[in-house]
Amino acid sequence: MPARRIDGKAAAAALRERVGHLASFFSASTGRPAGLATVLVGEDPASEVYIRSKRAATAEAGMESVHHALSADTSEAELLALVERLNADPAVDGILVQLPLPGHMDSARVIAAIDPDKDVDGFHVVNAGRLAVGDPAALVPCTPLGCLHLLKAELGDLSGRHAVVIGRSNIVGKPMAMLLLGESCTVTIAHSRTRDLPALCREADILVAAVGRPEMVRGEWVKPGATVIDVGINRVPGVEPGKSRLVGDVAFAEAEQVAGAITPVPGGVGPMTIAMLLRNTLVAAHRRAGLAAPEGL
Ligand code: NAD
């Protein structure tokens, strides 16, 4: 029997609706909407698309979206000055500086300048540290947080399960591993130097692929009944000439014959990322206003 398809689109829509309700409570109780400031430097078309979707989702959830578009030749000092202004602005609860930044800027320095309590991407070292020590004040990167949400909805209690995370980036792999450890999984982090990756993957009750290599994980790498979360988004040539299509890091058609449940690409992890950005913004707003974190997010 083929695996259950984990519907990230539906899960994200439900979460966004919930955030919308809670955002209107927030506005009513504080007299102002929760606010997300986005910053884009330059005119990278993919980044422009991401920012547009993030802004539209923010507005749809009843939160304030304020955008700062800076030209590609903006100096790092000017960007840092803007970040400082946003840090000090009481109407701004979340700050998102879209990456990648132009080559003349040091992303680490820019991220380090963001107030950790407004760092809704969860990339600041303070938030990485909070996550590592299990501090609930952590703002956690949106994509792994979305994966965890899907896993808990699918499996309930995760404790004692063996999770293999393929990929060790600061944005996905490492925070994913920390989150799973926080849920008392036995966690293995695999990466480009891992030996005999297929055998390791076959031991996983939970397999998270965050690599960026189209369909690298084959069906025979999957333990029968495992839950597979495919973070990869890879554009490959389509069937018709000149057309392209998106595939994940997992060979879906093979893996769904073996897995117990699996996320498709598109429609799996992808939609959860923006939903979690809204969630993080609302959580940051509550904390900054001295309100208890909203339940059920
Ligand atoms: P990255 O390039 O920063 O990291 C990739 C990781 O994969 C590295 O840690 C590397 O060690 C590992 N790796 C590379 N080749 C490998 C191999 N042959 N075997 C085992 N491990 C290998 O990428 P990232 O930012 O973590 O993103 C990973 C994928 O997730 C990409 O496809 C990206 O597009 C996608 N992504 C999706 C979302 C989303 O919203 N769904 C968000 C972020 C990233």
Q: Give catalytic residue positions.
A: 54, 98, 121
| Per-residue pLDDT, 296 | 78
pTM of the model: 0.98
| 231 Cα: distance to centroid of ligand 1 (angstroms) | 8
Query: Which residue owns the Cα nearest ligand 1 atom 13?
Result: 192
**Portions of the chain given CATH number 3.40.50.720:** 142-271
Regarding the beta carbon of 99 and ligand 1, being less than 6 Å apart is answered: no
Regarding the beta carbon of 82 and ligand 1, being less than 6 Å apart is answered: no
CATH of 30-124, one of 3.40.50.10860, 3.90.1150.170, 3.40.640.10, 3.20.20.140: 3.40.50.10860
**Portions of the chain given CATH number 3.40.50.10860:** 30-124
For residue 186, the tally of other CB atoms under 10 A from its CB is 16
Locate tokens 């820019």: which residue?
110
Q: Which fold has domain 142-271?
A: Rossmann fold (3.40.50)
Regarding the beta carbon of 201 and ligand 1, being less than 6 Å apart is answered: no
pLDDT tens-place values along the chain, 297 residues long: 899 999 999 999 999 999 999 999 999 999 999 999 999 999 999 999 999 999 999 999 999 999 999 999 999 999 999 999 999 999 999 999 999 999 999 999 999 999 999 999 999 999 999 999 999 999 999 999 999 999 999 999 999 999 999 999 999 999 999 999 999 999 999 999 999 999 999 999 999 999 999 999 999 999 999 999 999 999 999 999 999 999 999 999 999 999 999 999 999 999 999 999 999 999 999 999 999 988 878
Dihedral angle at the C-alpha atoms of 93, 99, 101, 107, nearest 10 degrees? 70
Q: Report angle CA 277, 283, 285 to the nearest 5 degrees.
A: 105
| Per-residue pLDDT, 294 | 86
